[in-house]
Structure 1
Amino acid sequence: MTPASPRPFDGPTLLDGAMGTALLAGGLPAGTLPEAWVLERPEAVAAVHAAHAAAGAEVVLTCTFNAAGPRLDPLVPPDRVGALCAAAVRLARRAAPGARVAGDLGPTALYGPGRPPPDGAAVRARYARAAGALAAAGADLLWAESQWDLAEARLALDAARATGLPVVVTFALREAAGRLAAPDGTPAEELLEAVADAGAAAAGVNCVPPGPALAALAAWAARRLAVRFVAKPSPGLPGEVLGPDAFAEALRPAVHAGLGVAGGCCGAGPGHLAALRRLLAAARAG
């Protein structure tokens, strides 16, 4: 077992909400990468961070979800990724001065069902470039999210840990028969144990429904997972978004089962975070 990174969470912690859907609501053209506004409209990105922090978020993720993926290359050439990451960290730090800044690393999209796996060394190099830039810019920790392929998650984790910062890994999974699993059927529990064994400082899920499957996973993690379990479930996409109170109520069983590090993914705004903050505070007091 690889020694874990330093523990990033010592108690109940409120994470931030969604960046991409917030920017879309603010006028980001469909199909445009959010990172474009780090460069072109930084005030819009800063406003999202500030709103999340005002709602109580103690950790904010930088607007760098695509920093390791080739889809960013037409917008930001590889030799300019460092400048993008530095700008994103500065925005988050200035907009949310009381929060910890997590350097966000989404999947590369180079892995896919039925496709031959890409060159692992090249994928790791992409993560290493982005993770190194985020660390050099002053991020407090690194956050590899929306992973779904274990091989890629391991590469992201390995590259991010090389910076010396704590690394959180979360998986975007599907719900079937009351359980969360990857598209290839790998159960969430197996994925979380694998990255915990590989040195993740915390592990969890994001962009999953806030329902019974998440509560069951939180209960399992409280008993079995060697690192802190984190979750950023989604209240839904535009047109089908749960309201803040309904979102918190749907998360109540997971919080009672032991979930103490939580935020919101797609569709989650300041209202959702405020409701979740109240839920976490009540659980802490109880």
Structure 2
Amino acid sequence: MSIETRRKPPSPLGETTTPVKRRKQSWWQRMWRDRMLLAFALPGMVLLLLFHYVALLGNVIAFKDYQPFLGIWESVWTGLENFDVLFNGDPDFLNALRNTLVLTFIQTVFVFPVPIVLALLLNSLLSERIKKLVQSILYLPHFLSWVIVVAIFQQMFGGSGMVNNFLRSNGWAALDILGNPDTFFALLTSQVIWKDTGWGTILFLAALSQIDSSLYEATAVDGAGRWRQLWHITLPGLRGIIILLLILKLGDSLSVGFEQIILQQAAVGVQASEVLDTYVYNNGIVGGSWGVSTAVGLVKGLIGVVLVLAANKIAHAFGENGVYKA
């Protein structure tokens, strides 16, 4: 009597095989595997370590009477004495703090939204060739140094610049634009907008490209116009990147452009143009008050950290990820 052998019917996807478990690689094995990638990243890591993390140890100067010929570790320890400029209300420091806060508020309100508006306008262009041409023109000022930017503004709006020469040739009085303390903040704001607005649109244009076009088509069928589409589709699609960049902006809010201001400070005077960064430079490197200047810089950095943490907490309360998740 023959015994019938029954075979398991083959799988429609072919013969089934037991998956082979890959042995988990050790930390050293992963490092060796990615050795070429790490070799390329090594120079940047070394620079970041030396000039950002190791340099933080120099903040100990804020608690010492630092003398360059003695060095950091041999200088006399003074505790919180250098922070008296903050606690006792030094007039020069208070003036620098006031100018910094006013300029921070102006640039947050008037500079931060401009790349968003410009990105929306560029996104509305139908011709890709025109859009790329406009983007290239707008990106160009970002790659110019502040020395060149200030020189351009001097050639345009200086006492013997193009604008004043035009006014004089037509019998009108010349305008003091670059040397007027009352309009100095407006001048700084216009320079920042001209230089960095185009570059700031990159992230917003990238976010706009990720919005599903079918949402616009569906709302158009329902009778929604461009303004309603902007309010209910476009701006919610940009909300995440707007909140993220605003948090990062707050963290750097007390740094309002050292190079830009120091190049033009002589024209308007210290009273109208002194901010925390220039205060640190003028009192530390120029004036020799190393400890006081380091104390001011340290407090400025701590305030920036607090602003980032607070803004990130508020972002979490509104359902956004922020800079990091809780």
| TM-score between both structures, scaled by the size of structure 2 | 0.20
The structure having more radius of gyration, on CA atoms, is 2
| TM-score between both structures, scaled by the size of structure 1 | 0.22
Higher strand share: 1
Higher helix share: 2
